[in-house]
A and B are shown apart, each in its own frame.
Chain A
Amino acid sequence: METVDLQKTPLREFNQKLHDLQGSSDKAEFKVLNPRGKHAVASGIDAPVSVEIDGSVGYYCASMNKQADVVVNGSAGVGLAENIMSGKVHVKGDASSSAAATGIGGMVIIDGNASSRCGISNRGVDIVVKGNVGHMSGFMAQAGNLVVLGDAGDAFGDSIYEAKLFVRGSVKSLGADCIEKEMRDEHKETLRKILDEAGIGEEVDVNEFKRYGSARQLYNFKIDNLEAY
Chain B
Amino acid sequence: MCGIVGLFLKNRALEPQLGGMTATMLGTMCDRGPDSAGFAIYGSGDDGHIKITVRASAPDYDFAKLAEAVSHEIESHIDCEPHGNHAVMTVVEDKAANAEEALQRLGGEEIELFGRGTRMEIFKDIGRPNKVADRFHLDQMSGSHAVGHTRMATESAVNAAGAHPFSTGVDQCLVHNGSLSNYNALRRELQRKGMTFQTKNDTEVASVYLTWRMQQGASLGEALESSLEDLDGFYTFVVGTENGFGVLRDPIACKPAVLAETDDYVAFGSEYRALAALPGIENAKVWEPEPATVYFWERS
User: What is the CA–CA distance of A37 and B28 in the complex, to the nearest angstrom?
Assistant: 10
Taken residue by residue from 149 to 189, chain B's Cβ proximity to chain A (1 for < 8 Å, 0 otherwise) reads as: 00000000000000000000000000000000000000000
- The residues of B that contact A55 with a CB separation of less than 8 Å are 282
Q: How far is the CA of A93 from the CA of B258 in the complex (A)?
A: 14
Whether A122 sits at the interface, judged by CB under 8 Å, is: no
Q: How many angstroms between the C-alpha atoms of A96 and B272 in the bound complex?
A: 10
B31 to A: closest C-beta gap in Å? 10
Q: Do B288 and A37 have beta carbons less than 8 Å apart?
A: no
Binary contact readout A157-185 vs B (1 if CB under 8 angstroms, 0 otherwise): 00000000000000000000000000000
Residues of chain B within 8 A of A134, CB atoms compared? 253, 288, 290-291
Q: Which B residues lie within 8 Å of A38 (CB)?
A: 273
- CB pair A37 B253 closer than 8 Å: no
On whether A75 and B272 interact (CB within 8 A), knowing A56-B286, A94-B288, A135-B291, the answer reads yes
In the complex, A160 Cα to B14 Cα: how many Å? 50
- What's the minimum C-beta distance from B6 to chain A, rounded to whole angstroms? 16
- Judge whether A36 and B276 touch: CB under 8 Å: yes
Q: How far is the CB of A134 from chain B (nearest CB, A)?
A: 8
Interface string of A126-146 (1 = CB under 8 A from B): 000000001110000000000
Contact B291 A37 (CB under 8 A): no
* Contacting residues, chain B, for A39 (C-beta < 8 A): 273
Q: How large is the interface on B (under 10, 10 to 19, 20 to 34, 35 or more residues)?
A: 10 to 19
Q: Scan A70-87; emit 1 where CB is below 8 A from any B CB, else 0.
A: 000001011000000000
Contact bitstring B232-267, A, C-beta under 8 A = 1, else 0:
000000000000000000001100101000000000
In the complex, B93 has a CB within 8 A of chain A? no
Interface residues of A in 79-129 (CB under 8 A from B): 93-94, 96-97, 115-116
Chain B proximity of A216: nearest CB distance (Å): 26
In the bound complex, do residue A75 and residue B253 qualify as a contact, i.e. CB atoms below 8 Å apart? no
- B225 contacts A by Cβ under 8 Å: no
Known interface pairs A96-B288, A115-B288; A58-B253 also in contact (CB < 8 Å)? no
In this assembly, does B275 line the interface, its C-beta being within 8 Å of a C-beta of chain A?
A: yes
Binding site for B on A (CB under 8 A): 36-39, 55-56, 58-59, 75, 77-78, 93-94, 96-97, 115-116, 134-136
New contact pairs (11) apart from A39-B273, A96-B258, A134-B290, CB-CB < 8 Å? A36-B273, A55-B282, A56-B272, A56-B276, A59-B271, A78-B256, A96-B288, A97-B288, A115-B253, A135-B253, A136-B252
* Interchain residue pairs with CB less than 8 A apart (19): A37-B272, A37-B275, A37-B276, A39-B273, A56-B276, A58-B272, A75-B272, A77-B256, A77-B272, A78-B256, A94-B288, A96-B256, A97-B253, A115-B253, A116-B253, A134-B288, A135-B252, A135-B253, A135-B291
